[in-house]
Amino acid sequence: MSHWIIAPVILPALVGAAIMLFMRNDLLLQRVFSLASTLALTAIAAALLWAATLHPPEVYFLGNWPAPFGIVLVLDRLSALMVMLTALLAVAIQLYAIGSDWDARGRHFHALFQFQLMGISGAFLTGDAFNLFVFFEVLLIASYGLMIHGGGKDRLRAGVQYVAFNLVGSSLFLFALATIYAVTGTLNIADLAVKAQTLPEGDDALFRVAAVMLMLVFAVKGALVPLQFWLPATYANAPGPVAALFAVMTKIGAYAAIRFGVMVIPPSTPATGTLIADLMMPAAIATLIIGAIGVLGASTLGRLAAFAAIASMGTAFIAISAFTPAATAAALYYIVHSTLAGAALFLIADLVADRRAHDRLDQALPPIQNSGLIAGLFMASAIATAGMPPLSGFFGKLLVMDALRDQAALVWSVILITSLVVILGFARAGSTLFWKAHAAAPLEGPRHEPQGLAFTATFGLLAGLVALTVFAGPVMAWMEATALSLHDPAAYIAANQLPQVK
């Protein structure tokens, strides 16, 4: 199995480069190869998930250099889960992009898409903090290209903001990594997890600064208040399928916060203590509140979906900041759910925007084509996002609340009230888009050819949510085992075969 660990990085890298070099003028060939590559990635991810479930964490030593000195990739349950989620999401989004002809509105969509997948897979699989930075940059530079795909004034200007914000984030990441290296002398995650527990007395303060800077970087990626400013303009102006793919990008922030917050510097660490949790919890609650208010007040459907993504990150980070196995398991379930639900919402927003003159929510326009079908899809994804029964959002929020019983007064009231606000926001948007439309004067617009593939992709994401609901029991059992392995990382550390210091 061991060589397959690097396949999710190599495969998109090779296919992306091949598309750039040999197929740059043939869209059909690009589509075939890109889709085949994504499907192959899904198969590899499924095999890796299977292996990670049955076996303890497995390490791939790049260049066969031993662990703290060389770069390692580590396949454990968490990384396998996230790669699987990325691959499934990518298949749906690629089908949508092909079905809606988004990939024909600019050049190099498929090549950038493959490089984006390479960066995301690498960020999930790497076991080295500096290598995590490098993969962050790989996925970011691909996302810059995807973000401005199709061009246009607003998109380019939002893109400049997005790039500038992320460059600041990258600089902060480097400051944090250099400080960590200066204090501990290592950047291997497993080695860090060991050394963070036994720091010499005088290094505590420096390490605390580095840990907080590192968490700030992940908060930028995860759009945690007060570092969420880049998200609404970016997601609302990005092409629909790209915004849907970005649904997994915020989750990389959550993943990294779990990886470092739970494994490397848990609240039991003498140097940092509960510092991270104490900072993260209020920020997460503020994120949830601002996201919910944003959903209620959004002026366009794209911004509504963006603020729904912020709200979902708030809920996920509330669960993460508890740093208990039950809460981590709930966070993982909620992360999987909110990735699928958020992506579906962005695709539906694109379906609407494509059929309307614009996607503003403050005025009713005549009924759009396929209005009934799209309204049904919107309703289903709104139910999932707001966390109403019967879909998985309800289970996700229930699990998060159940795991945080001891802080019920604050956390429960915030989650429940914001859920109500989000429901109101979605009801307002839905009624403007689909009900008030019938009162407006009918208008003969250009007819769309049916986009079966685009609808299939959206249905596919919703089917994923249904599956997550139906199999909530087994999935949660799996998540709990994953959370336990994160809270007791002995197996992860052992897999790295670190040399014993005498």
Partner 1 sequence: MELLVASALGLLTSAGVYLMLRQRTFPVIVGLTLLSYAVNVFIFTAGRLTVNLPPIIDKYANGYTDPLPQALVLTAIVISFGMTAVLVMMALGAYLEAGHDKVDMNDTDETPKGGAK
Look at the block and give the residue holding tokens 């989750």. 251
Least distance (Å) between residue 18 CB and partner 1 = 21
Supply the DSSP string of 343-391, one letter for each residue.
HHHHHHHHHHHHHSS--BSSS--PPPTTHHHHHHHHHHHHHHHHT-TTS
By CB under 8 A, the residues from 300 to 319 that bind partner 1 are 300-303
Least distance (Å) between residue 475 CB and partner 1 = 33
Please report whether residue 137 would count as binding partner 1 according to CB under 8 A: yes
- What is the biggest distance separating any 2 CA atoms in the chain, rounded to whole angstroms? 81
Least distance (Å) between residue 10 CB and partner 1 = 19
Phi, psi of 199 (to 5 degrees): -80, 145
Strands (E), 96-164: none
By CB under 8 A, the residues from 370 to 429 that bind partner 1 are none
By C-beta, is 358 or 448 nearer to partner 1?
358
Least distance (Å) between residue 154 CB and partner 1 = 6
Please report whether residue 130 would count as binding partner 1 according to CB under 8 A: yes
Please report whether residue 360 would count as binding partner 1 according to CB under 8 A: yes
Least distance (Å) between residue 304 CB and partner 1 = 10
- What CA dihedral angle connects 450, 455, 456 and 458, to 10 degrees? 170
Residue 74 β-bridge partners: 59
Q: Residue 27: which of 139, 114, 102, 116 has the closest Cα?
A: 102
Give the one residue of 4, 61, 144, 459 binding partner 1; rule: CB under 8 A: 144
Give the one residue of 213, 258, 265, 349 binding partner 1; rule: CB under 8 A: 349
Please report whether residue 488 would count as binding partner 1 according to CB under 8 A: no
By CB under 8 A, the residues from 161 to 200 that bind partner 1 are 161, 163-164, 167-168, 170-171, 174-175, 177-179, 181-182
With 0-12 / 13-18 / 19 or more C-beta atoms within 10 angstroms meaning exposed / middle / buried, residue 398 is: middle
By CB under 8 A, the residues from 216 to 275 that bind partner 1 are 233, 236-237
What whole-number distance in Å separates Cα of residue 250 and Cα of residue 240? 16
Q: Residue 207: which of 252, 127, 264, 166 has the closest Cα?
A: 264
CB 20 within 8 A of CB 111: yes
DSSP state of 445: -
Within 10 Å of residue 210's Cβ, how many Cβ atoms?
Answer: 24
Please report whether residue 348 would count as binding partner 1 according to CB under 8 A: no
Least distance (Å) between residue 362 CB and partner 1 = 11
By C-beta, is 233 or 310 nearer to partner 1?
233
By C-beta, is 243 or 335 nearer to partner 1?
243
CB 477 within 8 A of CB 178: no
Q: Residue 217: which of 182, 174, 249, 259 has the closest Cα?
A: 174
Give the one residue of 151, 226, 452, 499 binding partner 1; rule: CB under 8 A: 151
Q: Of 5-13, 136-144, 260-268, 372-380, which part binds partner 1 (CB under 8 A)? A: 136-144
Q: Of 299-307, 424-432, 433-441, 482-490, which part binds partner 1 (CB under 8 A)? A: 299-307
Give the one residue of 104, 150, 212, 293 binding partner 1; rule: CB under 8 A: 150
Give the one residue of 158, 284, 319, 461 binding partner 1; rule: CB under 8 A: 158
Least distance (Å) between residue 213 CB and partner 1 = 12
Look at the block and give the residue holding tokens 């995590």. 132
Least distance (Å) between residue 177 CB and partner 1 = 8
By C-beta, is 171 or 268 nearer to partner 1?
171
Start-to-end CA distance of the chain, whole Å, equals 33
Give the one residue of 77, 208, 251, 356 binding partner 1; rule: CB under 8 A: 356
**Neighbour-count burial for 418-436, b at 16+ CB within 10 Å, e otherwise:** bbebbbebbebbbebbbee
Least distance (Å) between residue 363 CB and partner 1 = 11
What whole-number distance in Å separates Cα of residue 306 and Cα of residue 164? 19
Please report whether residue 149 would count as binding partner 1 according to CB under 8 A: no
Q: Alpha carbon 61 to chain centroid distance? A: 26
Please report whether residue 480 would count as binding partner 1 according to CB under 8 A: no
Q: Residue 282: which of 224, 221, 223, 212 has the closest Cα?
A: 224
Residues at the interface with partner 1 (CB under 8 A)? 105, 130, 134, 137, 140-141, 144, 148, 150-161, 163-164, 167-168, 170-171, 174-175, 177-179, 181-182, 233, 236-237, 300-303, 349, 353, 356-360
